[in-house]
Structure 1
């Protein structure tokens, strides 16, 4: 295990890995704890993928890492035997960490790195809970529910679990700054004149989406949309480029300028992306990735639409339906309020506080089979 943090006793271990969809809620919740919870400073644990390193480093957040790079529960992987061998070492390392550092609770945010820590927490009888960002629970969450580990869900649905097996708390999101259009545009695209009219953000998640990009480039050339600006968040470090009404800007870890400019957005169905759009009140056309495991992006999209966040369009539908969905979210759903320079929303703060209170209630007071008794729990300041 690689040491990235100073040796200090902190009561919460936050575990996340894989993609930004698992990492950002953990980082957001940890930041809230640092601001509001005296004595309950978090320690982060992740894997060793490049994306994980980049995100933590971009946030200036120290973390511990396990020597594991993929889920042993992904039976389609070509290196499955190697992953199971790495899992054994990761479990042993996790057990050692829990025995050396007396954490009051372990909170899992999903991703492959949560699996060994779940097993370690159960073996060591350390209080543990898991936050599930998706509307369809991942494999580790379903395993945790089997062992009666408290499941805290980001949405009102957490299929295939019944309501008795999870508690809805919402998805913690990052802090954002709302910028004026000119400031946001100049931050992203220097030397290009900002066009008045709708600005549509196209975001394929932390891993990008070439197929989604091509879909939108085709629709952008149709007559109803030629005066709009389509702002693509792309992978790589190339300079921004303009092709007609399509502007391509490199991905950045602080999306505040993107969100400030967006009239509406076209996004994949990642849970954290949708939670951020909901938090920023940006209406969306959601195009779920058809190869997402357990169709979780489709379930996320349905939960998002049910919450009034936008329109679902699937890749087997017509381009005409896609154009109609985009016109609908811009003309009938756009109209954000509260566009001040505040860096965080009251809803995001409420979600973090609710999550914290549930972790305290479910794990630190001995209310679950795997939890040790705790006589005192620090309340939010």
Structure 2
């Protein structure tokens, strides 16, 4: 029999941190538990949060900007920690799970103070700043890659290699065969640069595809995500090159697009890599050079070494180089299919269930105030407590200054 427990998930306001938190939250809800989410204002705007998860905004400071910025950041972190402690006294979580990002820091500090078990999940192949600061004190560290940079030897005994949770629609692709591709068939290419597209892909990909040999170029069917300010210029380029292309600033049916793609050209964010390897799709990856700690350059290592993709550093990402790499993978018989199989071998499709199992292994169900906790859930549990709501409104200035 499942015993209902309370869990708090803490994540920063970017899709890379929030999507795994949403996936775990959904799984814990299915298992009959109560879940609360701690984030910042940006996090509340990321789509996909299950409706039954209560959301709390905490101040989250960045320690940057010189002495004044440090003071503001420290003050916001301290306020967030106290608000987190208030939440934990009312909610009595069995475990707090941090997914990185600045809002996770005060939530974890509050958990340490209240002696609540803690887990951190690292989506990238480089341990993020907040996870580095808390790694020595948490009970467990969950990783998505076998080799994670900036992880200290003393903490490696806590590591569980479970992967990045992905959407159920993407997991469903794992049971589907790679799309058939014969010598005269349509060659479908999906181009995506993350949640907001990438200008460098808009500048390079159309001209790169135009440099392919005629017998391959005439078979192309392209779907590309673009920034709004780039889309007209990209449309003009494809028209000039006479390459059929569907362009959009947002692709709501991304899993379906991924399902029919023969090749993906994309950035190398953690969620992107997780979906490519879950679905088994070969890719040409262009790591974002400005990513913190250059983590996207490390994210590609496992998939590239396995033969599931190719990586091109942005300084070398030119139309000529792109055309060269596509020809290597697309014009050799069976190469794309073999790359798809190699990519799939890198996938960890059980990530969300394995993570939920780990989370359930820590802590116990609330026993001190079960009636109060139950009443909160059924009586408008989707909002913060009145005291926390008042504090959150008063501290929004610090969340805006320190947490973005």
Q: What residue is the counterpart of 1:28 in the other structure?
A: 23
Q: Give 1:288 deviation, angstroms.
A: 0.4
Show CA shifts across 1:141-191 (max 9, x none).
Answer: 111212244111011111121443522111110111679xxxxxxxxxxxx
Change (3 A) 1:151 1:73: farther
Q: Give 1:350 deviation, angstroms.
A: 2.0
Change (3 A) 1:146 1:11: same
Asked whether 1:199 is paired with 2:188, we answer yes
What is the aligned counterpart of 1:104 among 94, 105, 120?
A: 94
Q: Is the 8 A contact 2:13 2:46 kept in 1?
A: no
User: Is there any run of 5+ residues in structure 1 with no aligned partner, and where?
Assistant: 1-8, 180-194, 338-346, 366-381
Secondary structure, aligned partner of 2:247: strand
Secondary structure, aligned partner of 1:311: strand
Secondary structure, aligned partner of 2:284: strand
What is the aligned counterpart of 2:37 among 28, 31, 44?
A: 44
Q: What residue is the counterpart of 2:266 in the other structure?
A: 267
State the structure with bigger RCO (CA 8 A, min sep 6), 1 or 2: 2
Asked whether 1:358 is paired with 2:350, we answer no
Q: Is the 8 A contact 1:46 1:63 kept in 2?
A: no
Asked whether 1:222 is paired with 2:250, we answer no
Q: Structure 1 residues 138-147 or 84-93, which shifts more?
A: 84-93
Q: Give 1:121 deviation, angstroms.
A: 0.7
Q: Give 1:236 deviation, angstroms.
A: 4.8
Show CA shifts across 1:236-266 (max 9, x none).
Answer: 5989967332431131444223212311111
Q: Is the 8 A contact 1:170 1:351 kept in 2?
A: yes
Asked whether 1:164 is paired with 2:157, we answer yes
Q: Give 1:106 deviation, angstroms.
A: 0.9
Larger Rg: 2
What is the aligned counterpart of 2:225 among 225, 229, 233?
A: 233
User: Is there any run of 5+ residues in structure 2 with no aligned partner, and where?
Assistant: 174-183, 342-346, 365-404
Secondary structure, aligned partner of 2:146: coil
Secondary structure, aligned partner of 2:135: helix
Show CA shifts across 1:328-366 (max 9, x none).
Answer: 4445133768xxxxxxxxx765222221222334x337x
How far apart, in 2, do the equivalents of 1:124 and 1:351 lie? 28
How far apart, in 2, do the equivalents of 1:263 and 1:204 lie? 17
What is the aligned counterpart of 1:16 among 11, 35, 38?
A: 11
How far apart, in 1, do the equivalents of 2:253 and 2:9 lie? 21
Secondary structure, aligned partner of 1:146: coil
Secondary structure, aligned partner of 2:101: coil
How far apart, in 2, do the equivalents of 1:318 and 1:19 lie? 26
How far apart, in 2, do the equivalents of 1:151 and 1:301 lie? 21
Q: Give 1:233 deviation, angstroms.
A: 1.3
Q: What residue is the counterpart of 1:114 in the other structure?
A: 104
Q: What residue is the counterpart of 1:279 in the other structure?
A: 278
Q: What residue is the counterpart of 2:325 in the other structure?
A: 325
Q: What residue is the counterpart of 1:313 in the other structure?
A: 312
Q: Give 1:133 deviation, angstroms.
A: 0.5
Q: Give 1:223 deviation, angstroms.
A: 3.4
Q: Is the 8 A contact 1:153 1:169 kept in 2?
A: yes
Change (3 A) 1:170 1:19: same
Q: Give 1:10 deviation, angstroms.
A: 4.7
Q: Is the 8 A contact 2:123 2:164 kept in 1?
A: yes
Secondary structure, aligned partner of 1:171: coil
TM-score, length basis structure 2 = 0.72
TM-score, length basis structure 1 = 0.76
How far apart, in 1, do the equivalents of 2:99 and 2:257 lie? 26
Q: Is the 8 A contact 1:21 1:273 kept in 2?
A: no
Q: What residue is the counterpart of 1:371 in the other structure?
A: none
Q: Give 1:40 deviation, angstroms.
A: 2.2
How far apart, in 1, do the equivalents of 2:205 and 2:61 lie? 33
Q: Give 1:300 deviation, angstroms.
A: 0.5
Q: What residue is the counterpart of 1:341 in the other structure?
A: none
Asked whether 1:290 is paired with 2:283, we answer no
